[in-house]
Amino acid sequence: MKAVILIGGFGTRLRPLTCTRPKALFPIANKPLLQMIFEKLAENGFDEAILAVNALTEFHIKQQRLSRCGLKLKFSRDPPKMPLGTAGPIKKAEKLIGHEEPFLVLNGDILADFSYKELWESHNEDKAVATIALHEVDDPTRYGVAELAADNRIKRFIEKPAKGAAPTRLINAGAYVLSPKIFSYIPAGRAVSMEREVFPRLAEQKIFYGRKVSGLWIDMGKPEEYLQTNRIVLNTLRSKQDKPMKGRFEVKPPVAIDKGVVIGENSVIGPYAVLGRNVSVGCNVHISDSVVFADAKIGDFASVTGALIGEGVVVGKKTKIVEGCIIADQAKVKDGVALGKGVSVCPAKEICEGT
């Protein structure tokens, strides 16, 4: 069983952290999302994953040395300076995918907990050309929305409908099984949108089916959604660490603290703090509701709340980093700086008082 994982997007909504790593490599409670996807594919009986990347995402993924979980991994790269969209990469990978059996396609920026295997089986039962997992949300207008008939056929598929125009609250959960017939629906050599070009056509031709899935589902498109993804996963770890720890420093669960982390005296970590590998935290620091990527250094008396701190970032002493702030990799926030709400700092940039 083969799966294609789409990981060649620009992740513009998560900039500037996506300037230096693809969304699929963002850690969730210290485990990269792509690692979680590999584990889930292996659990569901898949044996091969084709990663639809661009040159940069391929480079970053190869650097990460993720565990393959027994999966055979292949890369299919979009042409230079020509992102192929969400359907173009599938056509590009036609030879790697082959024509023998259906295959699964996953968006590489979604954390979900439903059975890929069941989706696959329902696809075969319905003899569909495409079978999409559908998740129910309160506001479907940001997503692709499907109208489902009683026999699970999709009557209509509308990408990002205007307010009031969505026929249902069932949205594209970012996972679908496709039969090899799909290749004749995707033109080669150009960017093609699965959601805007291919799915609506399949619905018209009555060969597009859907299955409602329930349980955990989260789209990691925006910074707040990324923080929320971490909170949800931290909550699942909470039972194992429900006792707060107080000693030289204090830990308020739930938290995730990776190997090599050093925490100074009187610092308070949590709740909802994620500290990546080798993060160094000074004395009298407060970190809550934030993700701090590997190798960052947080100076004495700093306070970090509701923020994303990139890899190798240096946060100076007595700094204040508040809700919505994103400090990209290797940036420096100098001593005494207080950032306002929602400030983004570009990679390797230095911020001092009055910048």
Cβ contact 192:6 at 8 Å: no
Closest CB to ligand GTP among residues 60, 252: 60
Residue 9 is a binding residue for ligand GTP (CB under 6 A)? yes
HSE-CB at 168 with a 13 A cutoff on CA atoms is 18
- Interface with ligand GTP by CB under 6 A: which range of 2-10, 25-33, 146-154, 223-231? 2-10
- What does the DSSP 8-state code read for residue 194? I
- The correct pick among 221, 270, 306, 347 for binding ligand GTP (CB under 6 A) is 221
**Smallest separation (angstroms) from ligand GTP to the CB of 18:** 8
**Smallest separation (angstroms) from ligand GTP to the CB of 196:** 11
Residue 197 is a binding residue for ligand GTP (CB under 6 A)? no
- The correct pick among 28, 52, 154, 257 for binding ligand GTP (CB under 6 A) is 52
- The correct pick among 6, 28, 251, 339 for binding ligand GTP (CB under 6 A) is 6
**CA of 80: how far to CAs of 83, 122, 218, in Å?**
8, 37, 30
- Number of shown-chain residues binding ligand GTP (CB under 6 A): 21
Residues 147-186, mask of contacts with ligand GTP (x by CB under 6 A): ----------------------------------------
Which residues on neighbouring strands pair with residue 107, listed in sequence order? 6
Residue 11 is a binding residue for ligand GTP (CB under 6 A)? yes
**Smallest separation (angstroms) from ligand GTP to the CB of 28:** 15
Closest CB to ligand GTP among residues 102, 108: 108
HSE-CB at 286 with a 13 A cutoff on CA atoms is 8
Question: Any alpha helices (H) in the chain, and if so which ranges?
Answer: 33-43, 55-64, 88-92, 94-97, 116-126, 199-204, 223-238
Q: Which residues of 208-228 are buried (b: 16+ CB within 10 A; e: fewer)?
A: bbbbebeeebbbbbebebbbe
Whether residue 40 lies in the annotated active site:
no
**Smallest separation (angstroms) from ligand GTP to the CB of 82:** 8
Give the rounded distance of the alpha carbon of 336 from its chain centre.
Answer: 33
**Smallest separation (angstroms) from ligand GTP to the CB of 54:** 6
- The correct pick among 8, 16, 254, 282 for binding ligand GTP (CB under 6 A) is 8
Closest CB to ligand GTP among residues 82, 262: 82
- Interface with ligand GTP by CB under 6 A: which range of 4-12, 157-165, 202-210, 258-266? 4-12
Q: Which residues of 235-271 are buried (b: 16+ CB within 10 A; e: fewer)?
A: eeeeeebeeeeeeebebebbbbbbeebebbeebbbbb
**CA of 276: how far to CAs of 75, 131, 206, 255, 300, in Å?**
27, 37, 48, 11, 18
Residues 70-129 close enough to bind ligand GTP by CB under 6 A: 78, 83-86, 89, 107-109
Strand pairing category for 2-6 and 103-107? parallel
**Smallest separation (angstroms) from ligand GTP to the CB of 37:** 10
Closest CB to ligand GTP among residues 108, 299: 108
**CA of 337: how far to CAs of 145, 205, 227, 354, 355, in Å?**
44, 59, 23, 9, 9
Q: Among 31, 74, 117, 160, which one carries the catalytic annotation?
A: 160
**CA of 225: how far to CAs of 82, 168, 288, 323, 324, in Å?**
28, 23, 16, 13, 11
Binding site residues, ligand GTP, CB under 6 A: 6-13, 23, 52-53, 78, 83-86, 89, 107-109, 221
Residues belonging to the active site: 160
